[in-house]
Amino acid sequence: MTRWLAEYAWLPEHAEPTPDVLIEAEGGRITAVTPLVGGGAPAVGVEVLRDAVRLPGLTLPGLANAHSHAFHRALRGRTHGGRGDFWTWRDVMYTVAARLDPDSYLALARAAYAEMALAGITCVGEFHYLHHGPDGTPYADPNVMSAALVEAAAHAGIRITLLDTAYLTATVAGDPLVGPQRRFGDGDALRWAERVSGFAPDDDHARVGAAIHSVRAVPAEQLATVAGWADRQGRPLHVHLSEQPAENDACRAVHGRTPTRLLADHGVLGRHTTAVHATHPTSADVTLLGDSRTGVCLCPTTERDLADGIGPARRMAEAGSPLSLGSDSHAVVDLFEEARAVELDERLRTRKRGHFTAAELVTAATAAGHAALGWGDAGQLAVGMRADLVTVRLDSARTAGVPPVGAFFAAGAADVTHVVVDGRTIVADGRHLTVDVPTELAHAIQAVTAP
């Protein structure tokens, strides 16, 4: 039995944090959540409180980073030299992709995931398409890159959903993969499914989901094969959707319909599906996504970095799509920044304030993100849930004087002091207990970017 005493804790269905909450866990699960003040608060023995780890500040459920490409962490600060857009950024990304092997990928992902742990992320959704050797030849173990990512997350102390990505073509028109893209491809969706089915990591730490890279990368007639695999296995299915207007234009030109409509027509949408970005949907697309309860993962700091645009977050939420958050390219790893950007970007677009409540932003960063990654038993401070705790200090230069309910509009990743995953402490006093994060990041990035 482990006990924590949170100065404030954000409990489910609460509009704001609750003071003085005793949280107890056993076997990695929360067994009791007890507010100690207010009407009806039970008397708790002195010895129980003496036993409890004090968590000063605001304690949240674990944050879920629902969209990650771990190796993009090596690009941070390296793609801003000139003008350019998403497509020129992608060329730089490919040069790093070309240099990774299972060992260097493990080192880079371990450091990137440990940075996430420091930021309060307890589970990551890794949208993984770097499957094979540089010329496209499978490794002796065709899932060795997936295994490296799962091992990296284990070292960093966080859970992972490995969203194994089908990436078969270079364009909507079906052009073959060339150059660095060749290592992404499995040939066709059946061979993708065969390979993925051969990968079965420890289910308590790592789960496997499916992904369709985009309508550019999976031919229309093969979409249902990937969706069907996810459906039969009961796995989450993610897909990049309408990140760029050019994708919409190409899809209309080839298929005579929007990417969202194409996915709907091939059975890809649904409550186990998450559309990543959805920055440029039509009104009809928003309705298709919402009516099917397809989730939407917003990645505002990446969408900002890549000059993608601002998606209609409030309209998609109203239409019925649960919203989750991802740091995607890791230009920034800070889910507080992602969460408030959802609100702040709406303000910029509409020139009005107050689109999302603080509690809605917390849900996007926690329970909705975990649900999108297939962990319905995580992301809430409630009995029976996984014992994931993230404590944010309220006495830093950024957060001093801020009421706890306002923490999501003030705190950053650097204010996270204590992180518990499945009952195990992985970050204490703002330090990762097993990974020297800055040193490992520097070494791992040097190894894949040095001339």
Which of residues 33 and 331 has its CB atom nearest to Zn ion in the complex? 331
Q: Please pick, among 305, 308, 328, 345, the residue that the annotation labels catalytic.
A: 328
- Output the smallest distance, CB 358 to Zn ion, in A: 27
Bridge partners, residue 418, by sequence: 391
- Output the smallest distance, CB 72 to Zn ion, in A: 8
- Output the smallest distance, CB 241 to Zn ion, in A: 10
Going by their DSSP bridges, the two strands 206-212 and 237-241 should be labelled as parallel
d(CA 391, CA 180): 41
Q: Give the Å distances, CA to CA, from 107 to 118, 191, 331.
A: 17, 28, 19
d(CA 267, CA 231): 10
d(CA 268, CA 223): 7
x-marked contacts with Zn ion along 275-314 as a string, rule CB under 5 A:
----------------------------------------
Please, are residues 264 and 288 in contact by the beta-carbon 8 Å criterion? yes
- Output the smallest distance, CB 298 to Zn ion, in A: 12
d(CA 135, CA 184): 10
Which of residues 186 and 328 has its CB atom nearest to Zn ion in the complex? 328
Which of residues 308 and 388 has its CB atom nearest to Zn ion in the complex? 308
In the residue annotation, 277 being an active-site residue is answered as yes
- Output the smallest distance, CB 50 to Zn ion, in A: 47
d(CA 427, CA 315): 37
Which of residues 30 and 298 has its CB atom nearest to Zn ion in the complex? 298
Bridge partners, residue 43, by sequence: none
- Output the smallest distance, CB 326 to Zn ion, in A: 7
d(CA 186, CA 59): 43
Q: Which stretch binds Zn ion (CB under 5 A): 11-19, 49-57, 307-315, 322-330?
A: 322-330
DSSP label at residue 77? T
Which of residues 328 and 338 has its CB atom nearest to Zn ion in the complex? 328
Q: Which stretch binds Zn ion (CB under 5 A): 82-90, 155-163, 320-328, 378-386?
A: 320-328
Q: Which amino acid is at 432?
A: H
Q: Which stretch binds Zn ion (CB under 5 A): 106-114, 157-165, 324-332, 422-430?
A: 324-332
Q: Which stretch binds Zn ion (CB under 5 A): 8-16, 95-103, 326-334, 378-386?
A: 326-334
Q: Which amino acid is at 352?
A: K
Site for Zn ion in 207-246 (CB under 5 A): none
Which of residues 125 and 201 has its CB atom nearest to Zn ion in the complex? 125
- Output the smallest distance, CB 297 to Zn ion, in A: 9
Which of residues 121 and 358 has its CB atom nearest to Zn ion in the complex? 121
Please, are residues 441 and 66 in contact by the beta-carbon 8 Å criterion? no
Q: Which amino acid is at 65?
A: N
In the bound state, the residue with its beta carbon closest to Zn ion is 328
d(CA 36, CA 59): 15
Tell me the three state secondary structure of residue 431.
Answer: strand
Q: Which stretch binds Zn ion (CB under 5 A): 311-319, 328-336, 393-401, 409-417?
A: 328-336
d(CA 267, CA 263): 6
Size of the site for Zn ion (CB under 5 A): 1
In the residue annotation, 186 being an active-site residue is answered as no
**Which parts of 58-101 fold into alpha helices (H)?**
86-97
Length of the chain: 451
Q: Please pick, among 155, 240, 277, 432, the residue that the annotation labels catalytic.
A: 277
Residues that bind Zn ion (CB under 5 A): 328
Which residues are the active-site residues? 277, 328
